[in-house]
Amino acid sequence: MWHIVAAQSFLDKYDNLFTAVGTILFAVVAVVVVDRFLVRRAGRLAIAVAGDRGLSRDAATRLRFARRAIEATIIVIAIAVALSQFNSLDRVGRTILASSAITAAVIGFAARQTLANAVAGILLAVVQPLRIGDLVTFEGETGTVEDVGLTYTWLRTGADARILIPNERLASGVLRNDSIRTSTVAIEISLWLAPDADEAAALAALDALDGVRARIAEITQDGLRILVMGRPGAPAERLAAEGELRATALATLRDAAVR
């Protein structure tokens, strides 16, 4: 009988701890279940709507962002419920709330960047100026959108490097998206000539190439910038096509004795 009383006392003593741990475990299981449910549901909808083509870029971006937002919400609620089981933390919380104005100001200032990135992430997921799989250029960096997270967006460059861009910066900057609203994109490069170069000969040599147009885009003290435009191509092939066009244009100018 005494061991039953001891076990009951032990459970009563650590009841809050067991409740907190159980809440965290339940949250982990809920996150896994919700994640698998959304993935399977999205797969079925994709098959029903688009067949073997799978989810569109718009739907894939929204789905991934929604999954992470739901998972983050579950985890935050679970942590809050777990912490509320401890009276000592309640006393600490009441002490902190006594100076709520200062606390709110400090926390708000410290978390401003994180909250701004999260809000910008929601904006990107809703408006979708870029989607997973799009080829984009931002602040001179070009890559394929690999992931749109709650706070950062991931780009994969042609060299298989990863570039992380804060969502707030991305939402407020100028973005070039070569994969949206059109199936082709312009192929264009810039070449610089010396100030005393024969620009007429350069333009004539470049215009003679099949499917290529050239014009003077800028004149400075350092030289002339010629904009060379080729045939439009698929967004995924833009970088390779621009590289080939640049090599062809340089070889053409070299053959024409223009530098």
Q: How does pLDDT run along the chain (259 residues), one tens digit per residue?
A: 544 544 456 555 666 777 777 788 888 888 888 777 777 776 666 555 555 556 666 677 777 777 777 888 888 787 777 767 666 555 555 554 455 555 555 555 555 777 788 888 888 888 888 888 888 889 888 888 888 888 889 898 877 889 999 998 988 888 888 888 777 888 888 989 888 888 888 899 998 888 889 998 888 888 889 999 988 888 878 888 888 999 999 998 888 888 7
pTM higher than the cut 0.85: no
| Same domain (yes/no): 92, 154 | no
Q: Using CA atoms, how far apart are residues 76 and 82, in angstroms rounded to an integer?
A: 10
Domain-embedded: residue 61: yes
* Domain count across the chain: 3
- Residue 31 shares a structural domain with residue 90: yes
| Distance between CA atoms of residues 48 and 211, nearest Å | 42
Q: 173 with 223, same domain? A: no
Q: Are residues 7 and 94 in the same domain?
A: yes
CATH number, residue 223:
3.30.70
- How big is the CA angle at 111 (ends 108 and 115), to the nearest 5 degrees? 100
Q: In terms of domains, do 170 and 202 share one?
A: no
- 212: domain range? 185-255
Query: Are residues 209 and 142 located together in one domain of the fold?
Result: no
